[in-house]
């Protein structure tokens, strides 16, 4: 039996990572994993990186082996309304050839550790079904299922369900101390 051992560097994304991140997301756009039907341009990714703010829960992390980006995890606003400011939506995408090797686990571990110290209250994630690998990843990181939106996205000739997960964040400030922007 042969085991491949990856030496992962999980870190904040850099401008030099954006082409790889965009490529990984473009792979996902060809599947039901995201409901975007076109890849996002590199400028969109630059703006996302420029808007990163750990205290606001806007993070973009990569898992790299040397100079090769294997995947990324991102968190940001769940909704634009001010009362949702203490809730973040998370996602993780791994390059096809690196799935099943622990990359998503490493990324989500670091992302959620950072979010746990942010003072925010809740992380949420939506997973297009079926996707048992992503469901397992979310459960392994303390997310619980809260419900399924049935046939909410139409793509690739099918209507897809999305299973929603939530995870309380460890460092949530008491409600009286939360200041909305």
Alpha-carbon distance 34 to 24, whole Å? 12
Pairing of strands 122-129, 87-94: parallel
Question: Would you say residue 169 has pLDDT above 80?
Answer: yes
Residue 83, both tokens:
């009362």
DSSP for the chain, written as a single string? --------EEEE--GGGHHHHHHHHHHHHTSTTSS-SSPPPHHHHHHHHHT-BGGGTBEEEEEEETTEEEEEEEEEES-SSGGGTTEEEEEEEE-GGGTTSSHHHHHHHHHHHHHHTTT--EEEEEEEES-HHHHHHHHHTT-EEEEEEEEEEEETTEEEEEEEEEEE-TTPPPGGG----
Q: State whether CATH 1.10.10.920 applies to domain 9-177.
A: no
CA distance 125 to 81: 18
Domain residue ranges of the chain, discontinuous segments joined by + = 9-177
For helices 18-29 and 42-50, give the axis angle rounded to 10 degrees. 120
Comparison of pLDDT for 175 and 77, the residue scoring more: 77
Q: With the C-alpha atoms ordered 56, 126, 160, 149, is the resulting torsion angle positive or negative?
A: negative
pTM for this one? 0.90
Q: Which residue has the higher pLDDT, 71 or 174?
A: 71
Q: Please state at what angle helix 103-116 crosses helix 132-140, rounded to 10 degrees.
A: 40
The average confidence (pLDDT) of the chain is 92
Q: Is 96 exposed, middle or buried (0-12, 13-18, 19+ CB in 10 A)?
A: exposed
The mean per-residue pLDDT over the stretch 21-46 comes to 97
Residue 64 has pLDDT above 90, yes or no: yes
Overall average pLDDT of the 131-152 stretch: 97
């Amino acid at each position: 039996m042969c085991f491949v051992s990856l030496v992962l560097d999980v870190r904040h994304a850099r401008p030099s990572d954006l082409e790889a991140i965009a490529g990984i997301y473009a792979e996902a756009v060809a599947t039901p994993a995201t409901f975007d039907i076109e890849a996002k341009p590199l400028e969109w990714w630059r703006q996302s990186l420029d808007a990163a703010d750990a205290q606001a829960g806007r993070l973009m992390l990569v898992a790299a082996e040397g100079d090769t980006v294997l995947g990324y995890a991102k968190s940001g606003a769940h909704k634009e309304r001010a009362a949702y400011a203490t809730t973040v939506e998370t996602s993780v995408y791994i390059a096809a050839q690196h799935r099943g090797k622990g990359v998503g686990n490493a990324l989500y571990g670091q992302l959620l550790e950072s979010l746990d110290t942010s003072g925010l209250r809740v992380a949420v994630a939506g997973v297009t079904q079926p996707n048992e690998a992503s469901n397992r990843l979310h459960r392994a990181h303390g997310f619980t299922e809260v419900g399924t939106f049935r046939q909410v996205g139409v793509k690739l000739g099918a209507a897809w369900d999305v299973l929603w997960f939530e995870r309380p964040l460890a460092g949530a400030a008491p409600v009286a101390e939360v200041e909305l922007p």
